[in-house]
Amino acid sequence: MTKSKEVPQIVKLTDFNFPPEVFIPLKSGKFIDTIISKKGGTMPATITVVVGEPGSGKTTMLVDKMAGIEANGNGKKCLYISSEMNPVDNMELAEDLPQLMDLNTLYLADYENPKSILETVLKMGWDYVLIDSFMDAKDKIKDTSSMNASTVESWLINLMVKHTKGENDAKKYTAFDVIQHITKGGEYAGSTKLKHNTTAMMYVRIDEITNQRYLVYVKNRRGGIRKKLYMILENGKLSYDSKRYTELEKAIQIQKEMDNFQTENDQKLLELLGKSEVSDEELMVSQ
């Protein structure tokens, strides 16, 4: 069976007509909004992979952000897809993370056909979806279908991309945060297929010196990268060390200015040395 030949379409941005809400950030009301995007919040129609070791605070941070979006989003629809946890697990976790109690949650392990369930639920249309985790959701679909791991991964990525384009009943340009596991060496464990089909990639790490948790973007098409933001979790409440973040930003800016100053001075010195050099021919003439 031969595949039908695709017809290329050459377009201009002026050919598109997106609704205004596609460019309005989903704000959580937390300091994390500052580094997520240049507009200050999670942007619709994006996919962000969040990578970190167990216990680093990935789920805590994203659940807290999701609760903030619901509280500050004027009726924004959010969905938590829990593939690894069950209601009993989350009920106990809610003792330390009470934001879990009121979140719309889909427990993927409860269904015999998780692939069909995901299609059905996402078709409803959501502003923001948290998938915890991509690898486990992929494994559950693979184990209950005839597809192999690579095919399932492609299907799951394409499903998310479809909904970032507003192809659902509510015409929502869904924003996805997708939790992914890491290797024993502390690096991203997934394939490059997921990596390259995302808007951003964030790492949640534990500082080896201070034992504090922090997040940092290594890829972000909508905002900055390599900016550390430390998290503080106390009595079920998550906060961000905005003072430390500001101090780190100032230190980076000062270092950049010093580097620029040094580069300019080095260039001026080279120019002066070049002007002061006397050629062999000039020396012979002078003698």
Q: What is the pLDDT of residues 14-31, one digit of tens each?
A: 999 999 999 999 999 999
Whole-number Å distance between alpha carbons of 261 and 252: 14
CATH architecture, range 15-240: 3-Layer(aba) Sandwich (3.40)
Residue type, 55: G
Other Cβ atoms closer than 10 A to 142: 18
User: Which residues, 6 or more positions from 213, have their beta carbon under 8 angstroms from its beta carbon?
Assistant: 56, 57, 204, 205, 206, 207, 230, 231, 233
Phi, psi of 266, rounded to the nearest 5 degrees: -60, -40
Residue type, 53: E
pLDDT recorded at residue 193 = 77
CA angle 156, 106, 28 (to 5 degrees): 90
User: Which residues, 6 or more positions from 7, have their beta carbon under 8 angstroms from its beta carbon?
Assistant: none
Q: Residue ranges of the alpha helices (H) in 21-57?
A: 33-36
User: Which residue do the tokens 């889909």 mark?
Assistant: 106
| pLDDT band (50, 70, 90) for residue 250 | confident
Extents of the domains making up the chain: 15-240, 242-274
User: Which residue do the tokens 């340009």 mark?
Assistant: 173
Helix axes 114-123, 149-164, angle to 10 degrees: 10
User: Which residue do the tokens 């903030």 mark?
Assistant: 68
Query: Is it the case that residue 257 has pLDDT exceeding 80?
Result: no
Long-range contacts of 243-249 (CB under 8 A, 24+ apart): 245/31, 245/34, 245/35
CB contact at 8 A, 173 and 16: no
pLDDT recorded at residue 236 = 66
- Give me the torsion for CA of 104, 105, 106, 110, rounded to 10°: -130
Structure tokens at 196: 């390259």
Residue type, 84: E
Whole-number Å distance between alpha carbons of 245 and 258: 20
Average pLDDT (35-48) is: 96
First to last CA, the chain: 88
Average pLDDT (97-124) is: 94
- Full-model pTM: 0.84
Structure tokens at 75: 């009726």
Average pLDDT (237-256) is: 81
Query: Is it the case that residue 286 has pLDDT exceeding 70?
Result: no
Q: What is the pLDDT of residues 172-201, one digit of tens each?
A: 999 999 999 776 666 666 667 787 889 999
Residue 8 burial (CB < 10 Å; 0-12/13-18/19+)? exposed
Structure tokens at 245: 């973040």
